[in-house]
Structure 1
Amino acid sequence: MTVAPDSVFTRLARLTEHPRATVLVRCAGALSGQDVTAAQLLDGCRRTADALRAAGVRRGDKAVVMTRDAYHLVACVYALISLGAVPVLIEPRAEVRRCLDEIAPGVFIGEPLAHVARRALGWGRGQVRTALVTGRGLPGRLLGRSLPLAVPDGSGPLPPVPEPRPDDLAMIAFTSGSTGQPKGVEYRCATLAGQLAALDAVLRAEPGDVLLSCFLPFAALGPLLGLTTVAPQVDHLAPARTPPGSLVGPLRRHRATHVLGSPAVLGLIAGHCVRHGLTLPSVRRVLSFGAPLRPRLAEMLAKALPPGAEILSVYGATECLPVAAIDAQELRVRPPAGHVGTCLGRPLPGVRARILDADGTGLGEIAVAGPMVSPAYHARPDATRAAKSLADGALWHRTGDLGRLDGEGRLWYLGRSAHLVIGEGFALTTEDIEAAADTAAGVRRTALVGVGAAGRQRAVLCVEPEPGARRDAVVEALRAVLGDHPDARRIATVLFHPRFPTDIRHNSKIDRARLATYAAGGRR
């Protein structure tokens, strides 16, 4: 008999066992921070829920939460879920208005700047009936009703933690939109429970562990996973521009045992440690997500870590997180015959993977099933039908990623199906070329794009060089690492770009559509 994973509410109730333990640290730079105990967090959630109820928020209401403050985010998300309302997480971007028109939220909770944008850009116009302002800034009365969110002393009664039905809608989180229009992913209560259980398997947390979460939404999950969660002050509109000291300072001061971030942010940490001769002796496990982890970055990180520390590349998507994980040591292993690209590791416990529409080499679209798979896109039935299917007693999600399964049950990633470069008589997957090209000396990263109509595309390898690298030396290094590659001759042009455009969420996923436009212009 399969035992259902612990729900959000079961995990919240577990926080009452150690009321004085610090569960969240909100940082405001490299040095300062505020510790929040379990009692304070739960008391704050109860007070926030009371304030939301008094403002008219009811069960089933969809409520956008847009704040950069970790405590405000966690208190609002937990409070909304406890009321049976549905928090909606979305990043400030040009598509916000379209996204909100799609889901029609009745409540908008956010810091003053978010409300200024809401008013100026028409976010949720005609739909938002309750506007609640968090934090300090412009007078709240001009933007909406003030929502008190000061950290309490923790002396108040604990909030009720009702157990919902597994199929109740718990949250909507929008995809990054890095490969198309953002979509609202529905998390049922059972979905969140499945995600938390899968993350338990990746984190392998022990009592007293401390997580440095460099991705703000994950700060809402850290306390539920039993880790003291340190939320550094990341530039959430451009994570790669975060001052490295704002990451390394809190990490070292709070002796983080786990670090979670995208390759762009982990690169900031590793580079800062190398430049300043710093080590991170408390860290046991680093989790990289959002884009493939390259061996070069893993090696730079390892220099700052103690012997035996693990660096894991975690694979997943907003619709199914996490799916698989692989240790950096395994990333260096040469693939078996017929398996190129980047190894993602084996699916996590309870997760199944298969390859759909495979060709003669086993290459096809990766599909996954498991308790962490979201059941639907909100208000997007066509997208749901295209991505979800029932088979073998499970709901399967088509990821849009190309890959293979090897004889040991490991997944290999070859890139997004939407990024396949199709020319006359050939089809190139991005990861097949880039995994090799990225190893060339003087190369920071590469991106293979197609210029022209599918079927007649010209393959262009875009190169972002390391600072100070000579172009002629980089081209020679690329020739060396791609010399034996069977498809290297298909590359028509090598094009240098000073800094690749990337996604807003992680600054790690390359915006290939913009690069293809750049390449079509013939810039060199």
Structure 2
Amino acid sequence: MTVTAPDVFARLARLAEEPDATALISCRPGSSRTITRGQLLQGCRITAAALRTAGARPGHKAVVMTRDAYDLTTITYALWSIGAVPTLIEPRAEVGRCLREIAPDLFIGEPLAHLGRRVLGWGRGHVRLPLVTGPSFPGQRLALGRRLAVHTPDADGPPWQQEEPTDDDLAMIAFTSGSTGRPKGAEYRYATLAGQLEALATLLAPRPGDVLLAGFLPLVLFGPLLGLTTVTPAVNHLAPARTPPQGLIDPILRHQVTTIAASPAVLTLIAGHCARHDVRLPSARQALSFGAPLRPRLADALRRALPHDTKLRSVYGATECLPVSAITDHDLRTAAIQPPPGHTGTCLGHPLPGMQPQILDADATGLGEIAVSGPTVSPAYHGRPDADATAKITTSRGVLHRTGDMGRLDDQGQLWFLGRKAHLVTGSGFTLTTEDIETLADTTPGVRRTALVGLGPAGSQEPVLCVESLPSAPRATALDAVRTALRSHPEGHRIGALLLHPGFPTDPRHNSKIDRPRLAAWAAKRLRRRTR
């Protein structure tokens, strides 16, 4: 069965209709590179030919590790065009284990990535074709692989011609970050990519002349396919929160960005810089937060830099199902102030068209695990039947993916998020969800954010609330405000201790999800010191 929705190749072919329009603007500190749609397509053809010459064949799995947006996009599109399978892995993930699971044929990346491959043994016994992109690093003498030159052509070429795959063919493997457990390779079939592109098109609603700031890595690949001029800022994808804010603000202003899409950590940098320097972002008509729930305080800070009619939304999803739902900041505030009876936590909004969330194993209050079916859902993990058995359920409507998130559905069909199932705090006769406690504590004066962790074995855990205060707030004042707020919560008396933390450890991909196992270990050590 062939793909019926507008798929990767149909969208690529559309780029040729306006070859002089800008496809990508790749930004680096102090400079930028503009690539037209015609140049992008021609670059893909040249790269595809080079890959074939080097020995890449249909069905080959190819790990791609490069920080250059143009190289990443061109190589990925070229691999699709020859029927190979690009594989994306977080450099900080358990790369060796990931490569053993997928057994890649090709390893395409910058010299530094190949150095890691050689020194740490990534893909040993599987990688038959190492291909090196990007400039050599200073003093490099070690031969790391065959050179794959990825050029930016001066002009476009002949029309794009490609035999389309079927919707069940494997298109890509995208590894989870490992922030919520061992990294797993989510399989995207061509139907999955078509579903994701359709959902993102609905979400972003591109208009002629729109310019996207892609601070969220998947949109670097999807932006051009959606017909958007895609600006890729010099985000440090290994540590997004350490990105120099000027490297985000300058491209937004210079290229008149209309759509900003990034993680809360990156959006925090943008809002903070604008506040400190009294900067406004007049061209932005929408901003979207990916990777973690958007907190009202960050939404308020962004609002001060954006035009009053800018649409600001929080998007919910995961590597295995992106996107699922979205909610505006106005609706988010309303839901927080006036939640439906029996609902706490964070409202995730209504599902996007075609997405069908369910609540599994719900208790008497409707709280259970969020599971999702729909066109954006990855049908399987690559080489992980154990993970499939845990997270994938085959139904008459397709694969139902268990997200590992706790939540509820209200009477209006909106999703509510209560935290990760793995992060439930269970004591003697009670269970606490992280989002229920934290959405209250996070709104208290002087507090940047809080994190609930449980110490001890499940069923007899001691709940501890870690508090990260704002730099300008006295720490004692922040703690007093949290204590006062907890007294108003029916389960607030369960919290055994409040601990100030200088800065929570977070996930490597978004720098937004709190690394709770590390935080719990820190809290346990801190409390042991208190009792000595």
TM-score range, shorter chain: over 0.9
Find the aligned partners of 1:153 and 1:206 in 2 and give their Cα distance.
Answer: 27
- 1:479 Cα deviation after fit: 2.4
- What are the superposed Cα offsets for residues 24-74 of structure 1, whole Å, 9 maximum, x if unpaired? 000012x42111000000000000000000000000000000000000000
- 1:235 Cα deviation after fit: 0.9
Alignment of 1:109-508 (within 5 A): 109-138=108-137, 142-333=143-334, 334-508=338-512
8 Å CA contact 2:372, 2:402 repeated in 1:
yes
8 Å CA contact 2:418, 2:435 repeated in 1:
yes
- 1:156 Cα deviation after fit: 2.9
- What are the superposed Cα offsets for residues 337-371 of structure 1, whole Å, 9 maximum, x if unpaired? 10000000010011111100000000000011111
Q: Could you say what secondary structure the match of 1:286 adopts? A: strand
- What are the superposed Cα offsets for residues 288-341 of structure 1, whole Å, 9 maximum, x if unpaired? 011111000000001111121011000000000000000000111121110000
My pick for the range that moved more, 332-341 or 153-162, is 153-162
My pick for the range that moved more, 58-67 or 85-94, is 85-94
Change (3 A) 1:316 1:341: same
Q: How many residues align?
A: 521
8 Å CA contact 2:355, 2:374 repeated in 1:
yes
Find the aligned partners of 2:461 and 2:482 in 1 and give their Cα distance.
Answer: 21
My pick for the range that moved more, 146-155 or 420-429, is 146-155
Find the aligned partners of 1:392 and 1:340 in 2 and give their Cα distance.
Answer: 32
8 Å CA contact 1:42, 1:154 repeated in 2:
no
Task: Give the letter for the 1:134 counterpart.
Answer: T
**Which residue number in structure 2 is paired with residue 103 of structure 1?**
102
Find the aligned partners of 2:351 and 2:513 in 1 and give their Cα distance.
Answer: 22
- 1:480 Cα deviation after fit: 3.0
8 Å CA contact 2:19, 2:156 repeated in 1:
no
**Which residue number in structure 1 is paired with residue 26 of structure 2?**
26
Change (3 A) 1:506 1:209: same
Find the aligned partners of 1:321 and 1:393 in 2 and give their Cα distance.
Answer: 18
Q: Could you say what secondary structure the match of 1:142 adopts? A: coil
**Which residue number in structure 2 is paired with residue 519 of structure 1?**
523
- 1:392 Cα deviation after fit: 4.0
Q: Could you say what secondary structure the match of 2:403 adopts? A: strand
TM-score (norm: length of structure 1) = 0.98
8 Å CA contact 2:23, 2:35 repeated in 1:
yes
8 Å CA contact 2:467, 2:479 repeated in 1:
no
8 Å CA contact 1:174, 1:318 repeated in 2:
yes
Find the aligned partners of 1:79 and 1:515 in 2 and give their Cα distance.
Answer: 42
> Where does structure 1 lack aligned partners over 5 or more consecutive residues?
none
**Which residue number in structure 2 is paired with residue 12 of structure 1?**
12
- What are the superposed Cα offsets for residues 224-270 of structure 1, whole Å, 9 maximum, x if unpaired? 11110000011111100000000010011000000010000000000
8 Å CA contact 2:212, 2:228 repeated in 1:
yes
RMSD (Å), alpha carbons = 1.2
> Where does structure 2 lack aligned partners over 5 or more consecutive residues?
none
Q: Could you say what secondary structure the match of 2:366 adopts? A: coil
8 Å CA contact 1:46, 1:158 repeated in 2:
no
- 1:441 Cα deviation after fit: 1.1
8 Å CA contact 1:319, 1:373 repeated in 2:
yes
- 1:482 Cα deviation after fit: 2.5
- What are the superposed Cα offsets for residues 470-491 of structure 1, whole Å, 9 maximum, x if unpaired? 2210112112333311111000
Find the aligned partners of 2:289 and 2:141 in 1 and give their Cα distance.
Answer: 38
Find the aligned partners of 1:380 and 1:126 in 2 and give their Cα distance.
Answer: 19
